[in-house]
């Protein structure tokens, strides 16, 4: 072993995994119907291990809109400023299908590796 070998930086690894999965979670939530930004934050915060903040979500929503996956509309609110509602575009629905198919394939493959490793470890 080399003296400079280090264990995996678990905090950094989980951060990178969460970043990739956040887009998948957003498009799946919006496939159910339009939501305003803060409601998205609240629902995503309920996903254990995802660790979502407004500072994370809004730049991502902006990027997904620029990419043509989301559209927005403003609606006046009686309890404060107008709310920006997000929904999927046709392209967003198409990409959601592709992302979910990829995630399913990837998660099944990883589960298979985990099971094999555990079977060989005993």
Q: Kindly report the CATH number assigned to the domain that includes residue 18.
A: 1.10.10.10
Distance CA 110, CA 99 (A): 16
Q: Specify if 110 maps to a domain.
A: yes
Cα 109 to Cα 97, 101, 102, 104, 106: the distances in Å are 18, 12, 11, 9, 5
**pTM for the whole structure:** 0.80
Q: Specify if 91 maps to a domain.
A: yes
38-65: per-residue pLDDT in tens?
A: 999 999 999 988 888 888 899 999 999 9
Which regions of the chain does DSSP assign to beta strands (E)? Answer: 35-36, 70-77, 80-88
16-44: per-residue pLDDT in tens?
A: 888 889 999 999 999 999 999 899 999 99
Q: Is 23 exposed, middle or buried (0-12, 13-18, 19+ CB in 10 A)?
A: middle
Q: Specify if 20 maps to a domain.
A: yes
Number of domains comprising the chain: 1
Q: What is the DSSP letter of 7?
A: -
* Residue-number span of the structural domain to which 86 is assigned: 10-121
Q: Specify if 104 maps to a domain.
A: yes
């Amino acid at each position: 072993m080399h003296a400079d070998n280090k264990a995996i930086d678990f905090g950094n690894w989980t951060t990178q995994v969460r970043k990739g999965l956040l887009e998948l979670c957003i498009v799946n939530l919006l496939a159910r119907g339009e939501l305003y930004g803060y409601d998205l934050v609240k629902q995503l915060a309920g996903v254990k291990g995802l660790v979502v903040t407004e500072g994370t979500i809004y730049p991502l929503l902006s990027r997904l809109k620029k990419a043509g996956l989301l559209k927005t509309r403003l609606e006046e609110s009686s309890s404060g400023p107008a709310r920006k509602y997000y929904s999927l575009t046709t392209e967003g629905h198409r990409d959601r299908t592709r992302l979910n198919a990829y995630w399913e394939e990837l998660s099944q493959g990883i589960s298979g590796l985990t099971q094999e490793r555990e079977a060989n470890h005993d």
